[in-house]
Structure 1
Amino acid sequence: MIKISKRTTPNLAVALLCTAMLTACLQEPSSVQSQGDTIATPQRAETSGLSEEYSWLRKQQIAQVDYRLSVNLDSTSESFTGTVHADIQFEKILQQPLTIDFAGGTVKSLKVDGKETPFKYNGYFIAVASQHLPNRQHVITINYQHPYSNNGSGLHRFEDPRDGKVYMYTDFQPYDANRLFPHFDQPNLKARYTLDVTAPKDWVVISAEREGRVEKQGEKKHWFFPQSQKFSSYIFSLHAGPFHIWEDNADGVPLRLMARQSLAEYVKTEDWFTFTKQSFEFFQPYFEIDYPFKKYDQILVPDYNAGAMENVGSVTFNDSYVSRGEKTQAQRMRLANVIAHELAHQWFGNLVTMDWWDGLWLNESFATYMANLSLAENSEFTNTWENFYLGTKQWAYYSDQRPTTHAIQLPVENTDEAFTNFDGITYGKGGSVLKQLPYYLGKEEFRKGVSRYLKELSFQNSTLDDFISHLGKAAGVNLETWQQQWLYRAGLNTIEASFQCDDDRITNLTLTQTASEEYPTLREQRTQLGFYRMDGEGMKRYATLPVLYRGATTKVEDAQGLPCPQILYPNESDWAFVKVNLDSVTLKNMALHINAIEQPFARLMLWQSLFDSAYDAKLPLDEYISFVISNGAAEQDINAIRLNSRYLSYVYSYLNQIPIDDQRREKLLKAIEEFSWQQLQQASTASDQQKTWFELFAEVAHSKVALNNAKQLLVGEHEIDGLKLDPDMRWELIRLQNRYLFADYEQAITQELRKDHSDRAKLNAIAAEAIRPLPEVKEKWLQNLIHNRDEFKLSELRKATSNLFTDEQLPLFYSNSERIFSELDKINNEDSPELISTYTRIFPLMCSKEGAQQISDALEKKQQLKPMLVKALKNHRYTSERCTKMGQAMLDQKKG
């Protein structure tokens, strides 16, 4: 198998650098020295990745570059070969070596203007001495070889276990395009690409352009693609394989949808094309720019590390978006959302691109906001913003309360740091901040600013200041203060409303804003107040009031004279990005009347506030559980049901570790288990509610009675009206059996694999085995992860680590923890951020001071850990400390 973590070592003959160059590479000067009409640049450090400093200096060297790329693909080989011609115009005559990014491959030859030229290659980049580039324009030709990837980055190769067919796709963000071909892999060196590919005759080849011609060559075909428009290399692409293809068009733009043959029967093409065309219908008039590229392909691919990637004209999607059963409405909305997100990127990110990775948030935040706006304005989904609040917004809130929070706009020193910033701040908080900006500026003013920004900077690179200045000009507003408050400073604010009434009328209403000691910034934004009173049997909203608040207190004069509320929510309909503390009157009436509140969105936000109280250790967990079980059964809104189900699962995890007596613990765990089973049986047949409760039951079932119910569902001895188990739901029940070594848990895997030959089945079988609470199983998979990982695909390792130590298996983790922590040094030395991310999944919730201290010790002893490992460990420690506080709240309650 192809190695997934160790990069191919180049030949010593081309890897050895001269002593002088090695010495120079140890340091990276911080300034450019100009001498006449030449540019002196520092030598580049011999490490993986690319620093911002060096990328900026290289941008000063290169005025323009275009690439002609030839690639030879083979379905049976472990590597591919290629030739790239880089037509480069330099700003000035070079004085120092030129470096060309190319990680993990072999350089066979290099020519400058057709002449064989000496070069140095260290496995990370190629260096060409300045004396071999004496002019302002040269063509550099490189013949190379590179192994296929099986970790989802670079050019990934996948063999389908069902039919043996081979598929390939690329994934490059932020710095893996140089694993396809040698080039200058930084976003501000945009280029045009002319591609030709030799591949097996039954394959289709896909890239940014549609092929111009295809020539037969025996058992292969040669595909020729015309020169593309100018864009950054991280959104260039090359996909190939015997894909099943469906075609349509969006107002004249050719659309294709592709999936591997074994998955084609499950693809609901009507949804894919409908959601895509609706997104086109919204974005083109909104941006006032027609789709800027010539065609739009969407390719479903396996083993994918992310949800999707916005490659120009050939977007890749994780094929887990294809369900082997009926999708819930929430799953359909997630699909529509990701389709809209990637299409939005074709304008914002692809047409206009960030200058460097410190602008990643703007790309992702904008696509996040625009996708939801598109669904809200032009789709069947009427509760889009409720889903945004339930998912993206909560991700952002929790990320912003962690010790690893950061400003939305922050320096990114290198591409390793860029990878670390694909998080809840970059996507969630950034998208939420953009969501509240139209309320601040005006919706049409915001739209005009975006449109002008895209028009003026088409096919160029941009910075945050470019974007903000266009918004400010369109609205006639100076956004400097807003920019500083929201983009350059971290932390989450909290607001609380307080009010007094006389003769059943409000006489005074004040909003109080607070901030944490670490991040004391008080911000300005527009929110909306929602006022509720009982009217007959219902708690009805009788008024809303927009408010622009700032500073520590804001007196709301316009509220005076309104009827006195029984419930007052200070962020009605989720305008603002802020955490809410409920006043005492609202808390009392919410507890009495939550099911009487007629606005589903309001109930959703109040249910969230209830869990926030438990998460903040203000409300003991048993009181939280009691309230949800007593009131949650009557809740019919699917988003509120999803929210309560999610948090009951979290609470179940905490309870497994909180230091309370076992009798009390089991009583609470059993209450959650029985509630989930009851709701599953009582839910409407074939409904989204039914599937939601099934997922919770499969996660919290643990007693013999519940496990027997699960087994009977699996083998067909018990049926619930309307509940149809698709293959993936069956695997959830098999995983549950193995988690508790219940009944014929080993046979269950074997029997299911006879029916299900898919790659998903193989991954689920790994999960079901790894989750077994047996020392020998944990030892086996630790060996695989630490010593034998080259024998597995990254997707397989990820499945194992995610299931290796569940919350009730903490003793098994502790018996291996010294070894797991000691391996951090070796994992830290890997070049693959994907592997590092996979390893961090091995750490379970450690709800104790001892567990938190173990993480602190590791952080203190291992000072050289990469940002991704440091961030993951700090977040694990934070979660452990949170859980400990929640446990203490329960102990204090009992003492009281």
Structure 2
Amino acid sequence: MNTANLSRTETRRRSRHITNVAYRIELDLRGATDAQRDTFGTRTTVTFDASTEATWLDFIGPEVLSVTIDGTPVPVDHDGSRIQLVGLGRHNTVVVDALGRYSRSGEGLHRFVDPVDDEVYLYTQYEPADARRVFANFEQPDIKASFTFQVSAPEHWEVLSNRTGNRSGETVTFDPTLPISTYITAVAAGPYHRAESTWSRGTLTVPLAALCRASVAEHFDPEDIFEITKQGLDFYHDKFDFPYPFGKYDQIFVPEYNLGAMENPGLVTFTESYVFRSAATEAQYEQRANTILHEMAHMWFGDLVTMEWWDDLWLKESFADFMGAFASAHATRFTDAWVSFANRRKAWAYLQDQLPTTHPIVADIPDLEAAKLNFDGITYAKGASVLKQLAAYVGEDAFFEASRRYFAEFAYGNTTLADLLVHASAASGRNLDDWASAWLQTTGVSTLSCTDSAIVQTDPRPHRLAIGLYDKDSEGNLVRVHRREIDISTASTPIELPSAALTLLNDDDLTYAKIRFDASSLATIETSLDRVVDPLARGLIWSALWNATRDADLNPSTYVEIASKFAGSETKVGVASAVVANVQYAIDHYLDDSDAASQTWISTCWSQLESADPGSDAQIVWLRAVAAASQASDARAREIERLVDGTLPIEGLELDPEQRWMLLRSLSALGHTSRAALDAELQNDKTASGLNSHRAAVAAQPTAEAKARAWSDLMESTELSNDAVDATVTGLRAGGRRDLLAIYDDRYFDAIADLWSTRSIEIARRLVVGLFPQQESTDAADAWLSAHEWAPAALRRLVIEQRDHLARALRVRRAFGL
């Protein structure tokens, strides 16, 4: 039995017996700078009341040195995941001395050595259940506690946790936390660069800090981060009527992070990719702002009020995803944040919701392995989309009033769906049981279309939606001339609409549904998409076109043609980036004659790059498009070579190191650069990013030797970090060379069960997904699934999903004879 995979049933039983928990955690990190040492000292003192004589503490680490109960040493009973406790009384003090192991996958306490200056950086990442890799605890969200951390580390280091600390020499002792769950406790330590500010409202003053590695500080822009942070705190303070409760607000940007960000109260962690080492578009700044506001929303949705178990994960993630876009649009300079939400976040939801492994927003999560994979497009983006529909259904005022009542009643506690619905119904005056059943407890996505006399939907649900009618004005622009907002709930809803050049269902993106265009509207789009003035309307059109392409309702060649014609004029850079990425995906997966399509597309990308305004976001977008498209076509290889060596300058474009690596990887995939040239480039960029970019470029070389080396590294090395794994996989797959990769198809299916059992779930997930073979049939995947019914459910889920992506691509090809 895998005792590391905690189940809902057993943790629920434990929470009935364990109450009044408090921790003191002492971590000795002074040996972190010793490269030969992979462990650290950890001591947990936990006090609790018990109504049972026996329970267990969770701890995953190499060794438990000793355990005492109420001062009496007891035999160590540790199976690698659980420490058994027997002979408990009503009030208990348990002390566990142990060794923890530093992580290279971002699970637990991650250690990173900066290749620029050999400095060591540490940080923790625990969700959903990796605090037990750092200290012994009751690892479940509904056993909240106060945590007091004491950390010993080199004296010149920054040492941070959820609360403010007091230093005495090498030891920093932090104030006790308010009651929180184990997964949102946090520690970071290292010679981090630090910037400071404050936010005040009335009598409340919150110290702010933003931190990153010293070697990337020259690229850091804390002023923009603080601006968004203050705008968010202003907004949430007003909307939630519950002052920020956690004292300080530190935000730290860390290397090799395996998530976008994590909402640890008082110490929010972010991926270092938000420190823009390369030229960044306004869309990237918008995405960072959205993430900052998403994590900030968690201070209330998730940290202050927490789900009882992971099947109600949506109670925090869906709300935070919705609030990230809502607050961006209402409180920051990114006033059209809903455009990006409609075109990018919802695309993730639509994709996830059409897989065989789809699940309700309120999911059945029996154990931790299932929870780990449930941080997906349904829990985040579909849930957020449905909350936007709820706000339209009950009204924004009622929505936020329900939130305020919810926080007031359940602060520092745990909740379920029923608790939220009570307040939402009370605030709105509407019984939401049927709404919750239709939206939160079902799967799938409706498809809406418009006939001459009715709105038709598949998979019927109740929708509050707007219908927009667009016609050309005196200047030839397509503008909305009529809008109607209606409720529909059946398969067909009669409606009479005036005629118009373009009928846009779900205008303003109020509901969660795919839409289809009538023939007249599609004809308008094919000739005049660039004349649609409103960016949200354009975003919805692009989203609908892509959904129709994926569903084999629109010929992928038509999508590529529309994109080739209009993507260059798309002014919303985030939408343009998504469209360009979709075209590349269509060429790689949906078109059999991809060589011809690739040559045409790379020429389009190069033309757009040359004509883009110097120094503009569009120039950045099309440079990235050139790099992606050129991996499979050498039609512009000579121009790219000259761009890299500086003999073909483009006004406004000065390649930074990451852009150079991006182009070099493409040249490497084509066989247009050598290993020696890549090694020489590395000498000019010996950063962590440079090392991984070099790794990817080397693995991209179109030789059997390069592919074999990359495959061996992935299969045999257990020391690769998550970033190094991603880079190697990216290089191995670059160019899609089936002649070189087919040899690994059988090896993939032979290896994945062992990988799942021997690697951390984070690394194993990256390998299983990233290396899935792109074959001409699903036979190999089907055979593996048939022969491995015994495999862990989480592993089977990943294979089923990748198999479905392949099957969809094959269906699209067959539908259009491609």
Please, what TM-score do these two structures have when normalized by structure 2? 0.96
Mapped partners of 2:473, 2:97: distance in 1: 77
CA contact (8 A) 1:119 1:128 kept: no
Mapped partners of 1:613, 1:184: distance in 2: 47
Structure-1 residue corresponding to 2:18? 62
- State the Cα distance separating 1:207 from its structure 2 match: 0.6
Mapped partners of 1:315, 1:736: distance in 2: 35
1:444 aligns with 2:383: no
Mapped partners of 1:844, 1:748: distance in 2: 30
Structure-2 residue corresponding to 1:750? 679
1:782 aligns with 2:711: yes
Identify the match of residue 137 of structure 2 among 183, 189, 208.
183
Q: How does 1:312-711 map to 2 (within 5 A)?
A: 312-499=265-452, 509-515=453-459, 522-536=460-474, 537-556=476-495, 559=496, 563-654=498-589, 658-660=591-593, 665-701=594-630, 702-711=632-641
CA contact (8 A) 1:118 1:128 kept: no
Gaps of 5+ in 2: none
| Counterpart code for 1:274 | E
* Distance verdict in 2 for CA 1:706–1:844, change over 3 Å: farther
Q: How does 1:702-851 map to 2 (within 5 A)?
A: 702-742=632-672, 744-787=673-716, 789-806=717-734, 808-830=736-758, 832-844=760-772, 846=774, 848-849=776-777
CA contact (8 A) 2:265 2:303 kept: yes
Structure-2 residue corresponding to 1:249? 198
Mapped partners of 1:56, 1:184: distance in 2: 11
* Distance verdict in 2 for CA 1:659–1:625, change over 3 Å: closer
The ranges of structure 1 where at least 4 consecutive aligned residues each deviate by more than 6 angstroms after the TM superposition are none
CA contact (8 A) 1:48 1:831 kept: no
- State the Cα distance separating 1:845 from its structure 2 match: 6.0
CA contact (8 A) 1:177 1:185 kept: yes
Mapped partners of 1:491, 1:330: distance in 2: 29
Mapped partners of 2:477, 2:722: distance in 1: 53
1:102 aligns with 2:59: yes
Secondary structure at the counterpart of residue 451 of structure 2:
strand
CA contact (8 A) 2:261 2:270 kept: yes
Q: How does 1:817-896 map to 2 (within 5 A)?
A: 817-830=745-758, 832-844=760-772, 846=774, 848-849=776-777, 852-891=778-817
Mapped partners of 2:417, 2:730: distance in 1: 37
Secondary structure at the counterpart of residue 718 of structure 2:
helix
1:758-805 CA-to-partner distances (Å, cap 9, x unmatched) read 101111111111122221122212222222x22322321222123312
Structure-1 residue corresponding to 2:7? 51
Mapped partners of 1:626, 1:373: distance in 2: 34
- State the Cα distance separating 1:844 from its structure 2 match: 4.9
Mapped partners of 1:348, 1:760: distance in 2: 34
* Distance verdict in 2 for CA 1:621–1:194, change over 3 Å: closer
Secondary structure at the counterpart of residue 313 of structure 2:
helix
* Distance verdict in 2 for CA 1:108–1:797, change over 3 Å: same
* Distance verdict in 2 for CA 1:615–1:120, change over 3 Å: same
- State the Cα distance separating 1:642 from its structure 2 match: 2.3
CA contact (8 A) 1:798 1:838 kept: yes
Identify the match of residue 70 of structure 2 among 113, 122, 126.
113
Secondary structure at the counterpart of residue 871 of structure 1:
helix
| Counterpart code for 2:15 | K
CA contact (8 A) 1:215 1:223 kept: yes
| Counterpart code for 1:510 | A
Mapped partners of 1:116, 1:666: distance in 2: 71
- State the Cα distance separating 1:64 from its structure 2 match: 1.7
| Counterpart code for 2:514 | K
- State the Cα distance separating 1:544 from its structure 2 match: 0.9
Structure-2 residue corresponding to 1:199? 153
| Counterpart code for 1:161 | P
1:168 aligns with 2:111: no
* Distance verdict in 2 for CA 1:588–1:180, change over 3 Å: same
Gaps of 5+ in 1: 1-44, 500-508, 516-521
Secondary structure at the counterpart of residue 547 of structure 1:
strand
| Counterpart code for 1:823 | A
CA contact (8 A) 1:848 1:881 kept: no
- State the Cα distance separating 1:555 from its structure 2 match: 2.3
CA contact (8 A) 1:208 1:311 kept: yes
Mapped partners of 1:786, 1:326: distance in 2: 34
- State the Cα distance separating 1:703 from its structure 2 match: 4.2
- More deviation in 430-439 or 72-81? 72-81
- State the Cα distance separating 1:809 from its structure 2 match: 1.1
CA contact (8 A) 2:342 2:543 kept: no
CA contact (8 A) 1:734 1:748 kept: no
1:209-228 CA-to-partner distances (Å, cap 9, x unmatched) read 101x2112xxxx11111221
Mapped partners of 1:128, 1:234: distance in 2: 22
* Distance verdict in 2 for CA 1:290–1:857, change over 3 Å: same
CA contact (8 A) 1:69 1:194 kept: yes
Task: Report the identity percentage.
Answer: 32
* Distance verdict in 2 for CA 1:136–1:822, change over 3 Å: same
* Distance verdict in 2 for CA 1:803–1:460, change over 3 Å: same
Mapped partners of 2:9, 2:567: distance in 1: 54
- More deviation in 114-123 or 605-614? 605-614
User: RMSD value over aligned CA atoms?
Assistant: 1.6
Secondary structure at the counterpart of residue 544 of structure 1:
strand
- State the Cα distance separating 1:69 from its structure 2 match: 1.3
Structure-2 residue corresponding to 1:81? 41
Mapped partners of 1:413, 1:187: distance in 2: 14
Please tell me whether Structure 1 or Structure 2 has the larger radius of gyration of its CA atoms.
1
Secondary structure at the counterpart of residue 565 of structure 1:
coil
| Counterpart code for 1:151 | S
CA contact (8 A) 2:59 2:132 kept: yes
- State the Cα distance separating 1:631 from its structure 2 match: 3.9
- State the Cα distance separating 1:416 from its structure 2 match: 0.8
- More deviation in 113-122 or 862-871? 862-871
| Counterpart code for 2:45 | H
CA contact (8 A) 2:669 2:735 kept: no
Structure-1 residue corresponding to 2:235? 282
| Counterpart code for 1:720 | I
Mapped partners of 2:759, 2:718: distance in 1: 14
Report the number of matched residues: 808
Mapped partners of 1:874, 1:275: distance in 2: 40
CA contact (8 A) 1:828 1:865 kept: no
Mapped partners of 1:341, 1:598: distance in 2: 29
1:436-476 CA-to-partner distances (Å, cap 9, x unmatched) read 11100011000000111011100001111111111111001
* Distance verdict in 2 for CA 1:597–1:83, change over 3 Å: closer
CA contact (8 A) 2:473 2:479 kept: yes
* Distance verdict in 2 for CA 1:844–1:146, change over 3 Å: closer
CA contact (8 A) 1:604 1:639 kept: no
1:115-139 CA-to-partner distances (Å, cap 9, x unmatched) read 111231110111122xx22x20010
